[in-house]
Structure 1
Amino acid sequence: MVDMTNKRLSVAPMIDWTTTDYRYYARLFNPKVYLYTEMISTGALIHGNRARHLRFSKREQPIVLQLGGADIDEMTQCAQFAQQHGYDEVNINVGCPSDRVQHNRIGACLMAEPDTVAGLVKHMQAAVDIPVTVKHRIGIDDFDSYEFMQQFVQTVAESGCTRFIVHARTAWLQGLSPKQNREIPPLRYDDVYRLKQDFPQLDIEINGGIDSLADIQTHLQHIDGVMIGRAFYHNPYLLAEANSLWGGSIPKRAEILDQLYPYLEEQIAQGEALPTMARHYLGLFQGLNGARKWRQALSGKPNLTLDDIKRAADEVLQLNPAA
């Protein structure tokens, strides 16, 4: 058993996926994990519907706002927004390889500009009391040596950052889509372990290709935290199983649904669209009898009702009494 006293398990930021509706749902499976927003650009917060972008239920805490940006004044202002809205932490995205963030010289591009990232951390931390952390890749394009990442971390750490979340792949900014960048560049977990050895005073988390409780336990023997994205999203019951890391009980799916229904009723009353929320719940019964029928019941139904969801869930639960 891993001692979780100073360890962390997190749900990764995923654009269009880690919305407040998903995060509330994820929290029902596990009270300990850190939940991240999707990456939100500084422009969206400064010029867009800030209240909607930043809304969350208090039950989602601990919660981290991930920011996409590179302008010191804008990032500092958005860090202040995060603190004002009650976020527990703010994270700088230095890992996203999409064309959009490349065009704006943010995301993974910033790995080539450690002084810029250090400046962001310094000014943001001076403006807020909550931690400012960095999520980055091992490298970008041909700048993929361990020494390149080590120098990046050293420079940013000198500005006061103490937590680094490392996606254990290089980002290839030319020729690969964001999806391919999550799958094709090889995983280099040993480089992340080495980073912890070289910077024992820092909190180092690992991300990328982790999809089982056994994987989590293995990584936590070497570093301070594990971040998982798509595996948690597509198989949320892995979040429930992870309660065992803290010696906690594992909730049944029926118990999770009993807590989810009142939330959905509340959101519907506030004008939120049930089909939009329900898309996050397709993986609830993954691997069980009736899982496909459950997904079909929730998908592509513009007139989906809460009774439809309850009826579909009851059918699957009857097939899986122990679920």
Structure 2
Amino acid sequence: MEYRKLGKSDLEISVVTFGAWAAGGWMWGGTERKDAVEAIRASYDLGVTSIDTAPIYGQGTSEEIVGEAIKGLSRDKVQILTKYGMRWDLNKGELAMKSQDNNGNEIDVHKYAGRESIIKECEDSLRRLGTDYIDLYQIHWPDVTTPIEETMEAVAQLIKEGKVRHAGVCNYDVAQMKEAEKYVQLVSNQVPYSMVKRDIEADVVPYCLDNNKSILAYSPLERGLLTGKMKPGYTFSEGDHRANLYFFKDENLKRTDEFLQKIKPLADDKNATLAQLVVRWTVEQPGITIALVGARNADQATQNAKALNLKLSQDEIKFITDELNKLELVK
């Protein structure tokens, strides 16, 4: 495994970081708790020491699973990344979505990052995770109803109290990052980035490179699209959010598969899977510090961790990128 520092901090995290959204079950058709715990432990055994979670993932379930998985491990050998600002139990802020919890109950999810809410969320996360500090605390989505100043000053206070080590953001644009930086030192921005979703290359990447901010790329496999396992006609289980995304239209599954087949011989030559090749390419892109990769069982987690065993030359990276630039998806 390889490790990289976040921004100007001393926090080193594994270049493949365990993304625990699917482990929480919410919007992924449920979860098998035992499998999720085993997935995290299998990752850790292969050097994946960093785990990214959030309260909203399963309405606390994902954080509880992470807490169970790291129990008994030396706390300073694990980096816990979690979030705040998505409330399903409070009617404040901006309504983000109407959804259902893992038991099928209707919930309203709000983007809200007011001071008192952040303080409460932090305490709840610490309890569920079974720890007394969070390594990286990130706002989950921008909250247009609360001044960034109020939000970031609350996080700065948590850092002063020792409950949080470092501050990060998720899904922030450059202007929002600049505003947040006035009140707390940001080390990172967690944003979606994959072979088929590269819009951050225009602005967020240059800003982060110029200002020594790390980029945590989430959904690098585009929620399974880039694994090579999805073909036209693929059906999702009930409650799986992917069924309604344009990436998974039959025409896009066909076009993506044609691209993947062009780069598959390179993966085969290196005795690697397509998913491993895609993850390695992702973390070789300018400004991308780490890739968050989800797994729902130990086998998937093991495959993800081994992506870093793969080495790519500049010519091989260029070959993949050139083929990728020919791929056009239908919206």
Q: TM-score, normalised by structure 2?
A: 0.47
Q: Would you tell me which structure has more helix in proportion to its own residues?
A: 1
Higher relative CO (CA 8 A, sep ≥ 6), structure 1 or 2? 2
Q: TM-score, normalised by structure 1?
A: 0.48
Q: Would you tell me which structure has more strand in proportion to its own residues?
A: 2
